[in-house]
Each structure stands twice: as structure tokens, then as C-alpha cells.
Amino acid sequence: MTHRPSEGFTLIEVMVSLMILGVSLLSLWGFHWTSQPINMKNSRETTALFLAEDRLENFRAAAEGGIALPAGTTTESLPFGNINFVRTSTVTQEYPSNIEIKVEWQEKCAMQGSVVLRTFIVLPSDLAGEGA
């Protein structure tokens, strides 16, 4: 009687390969599950930075147009999707204008965050007079 090599897989080989596949899929699922809150936080921060930069560009355009930036604080509520962002703009001096823009948000699930941009505005016409 001659022994022919069998074709196919044994039950043990199939079970070991399924176990390896299961462990691999569970680790990928865990990575996806833990990265989801980080992605949401980054999305909120990106939106908040966009809102802060938008306000800062409005200040720059006003200053370049010759409009004096009055000292003081303004606060505005900006609904963006299902999250409410609160943007606070503070101008502390009239020249050079020290500006702080803070955007805060709070979600229904008690997650919250904020971003702050600080700068000052000096007009190019003011710099031209210094070198003369």
C-alpha cells in the first residue's frame, strides 16, 4: 500500500489560521476604536482654528484699510454643525494692536476644548517710517 500525500488542510491548521486572523482583526478594531476620539478632537480643533484665523484676518483687513481697532472684548456664539463654538476677541491696545482670539466649544457628551491665537498688528506704512 502506497501512501499518497493528502491535499487540503487539516482541522488543526484551519483552527490555528482562524485564531491568528481573529487576533489580528481584534487588534485592528481596537486601534480604530481608540483613534476615533482623537480624530474627533482634531476635527474640533481644526474648526476652532479656522474660526479664530477668520476673525484675525478680519482684524488685519480692517487695520490695513485704515480702520482703527478699538480696545475691548467681543464675544460671539457660532453654531457649527451640532456643536456651539464661542469666539472671544480681545484687543488690548490701540497701537500696535495686541490681539487675542480664543475659541471654545463644549459638546453634549461633556467633551470640551479651546484654542487661542495671540498676535499684534503693525501696518507696513508704520514700518516704512522707522527706517527713514
Residue 115, Cβ neighbours under 10 Å: how many?
20
Whole-prediction pTM:
0.72
Give the 3-state secondary structure of residue 31. helix
Residue 43, Cβ neighbours under 10 Å: how many?
12
DSSP for 45-100, written as a single string: HHHHHHHHHHHHHHHHHHHHTT----SEEEEEEEEETTEEEEEEEEE--SSSEEEE
Spell out the domain ranges in the chain. 38-122
Average pLDDT, rounded, for the chain:
85
Beta bridge partners of 90: 73, 100
Each residue of 65-94: pLDDT tens digit?
A: 878 788 899 999 998 878 889 999 999 876
Which pLDDT score, from 0 to 100, does residue 40 have? 87
Sign of CA dihedral 125, 127, 130, 132: negative
